[in-house]
Amino acid sequence: MVEWMLSNVVCHEFEKAVGKGQYETGKAMHIGFHLNPKNDDQYHVVNMYLFAPGNYVFVVSQDERINAVGDHVVGKMQVLCYHDSCWRDSIQRFIFENQGTLSRFSAFANLSDWYDVLTLTEDEKKFLRRIEDWKHSLPYPTGNFLESNPFDKRGIWAGKAREA
């Protein structure tokens, strides 16, 4: 159960390096999961962000790809979880679901690190709150949350490749 062990380490590191109750500081954790690229893409990373403004922890993910012609393609933000305890399960589920294609880590700041501790901007904090509220609005929405995403500016290749 290496997958379980890996998710255990991720959760432990989040609690140690970032922790809950970070509304004021905006402190969050980023882990870039490199996946084997599909459809002739050159690179594929899932950027996972963990942020706990209060007791609940956001686990959100965003796809980032460099496609076959070198364009930088950023996907929509997905909320995997916002809960006080189940957030651990969502990380475990993510690792299990992608175990066949996960290849390595990528951090923003330092290539040799496996995660970053970030400070989220006010826009980013508000965006997470809005996407969570949208998910629970009635009638329950389908499709993607379409507001512009301030996290698009982050990313492994943000600013380094031609925008799609």
Distance of CA 96 to the CA centre of its chain: 16
Kind of pairing, strands 71-83 and 162-163?
Answer: parallel
Radius of gyration of the chain (CA): 15
Shortest distance (Å) from residue 110 CB to other proteins: 10
String marking each residue 47-86 x if it binds other proteins according to CB under 8 A: ----------------------------------------
Nearer to other proteins, 6 or 79 (CB): 6
Nearer to other proteins, 112 or 148 (CB): 112
DSSP output for 16-32: HHT-S--TTT-EEEEEE
Three-state secondary-structure class, residue 130: helix
| Nearest partner of 32 among 101, 84, 92, 108, judged by Cα | 108
String marking each residue 83-112 x if it binds other proteins according to CB under 8 A: ------------x---x--xxxx------x
Of 12, 126, 130, 153, the one binding other proteins (CB under 8 A) is 12
Residues in 107-126 that interact with other proteins by CB under 8 A? 112-114
How does DSSP classify residue 119? E
| Nearest partner of 75 among 153, 152, 161, judged by Cα | 152
Nearer to other proteins, 71 or 89 (CB): 89
Residues in 145-164 that interact with other proteins by CB under 8 A? none
| Nearest partner of 63 among 163, 160, 152, 140, judged by Cα | 152
Question: Element (H or E) spanning 105, and its range?
Answer: strand 102-106
Shortest distance (Å) from residue 12 CB to other proteins: 6
Nearer to other proteins, 104 or 130 (CB): 104
> Does the protein bind other proteins through residue 144 (CB under 8 A)?
no
Q: Which two tokens stand for residue 148?
A: 């512009």
- Residues near other proteins, by CB under 8 A: 1-6, 8-9, 12, 95, 99, 102-105, 112-114
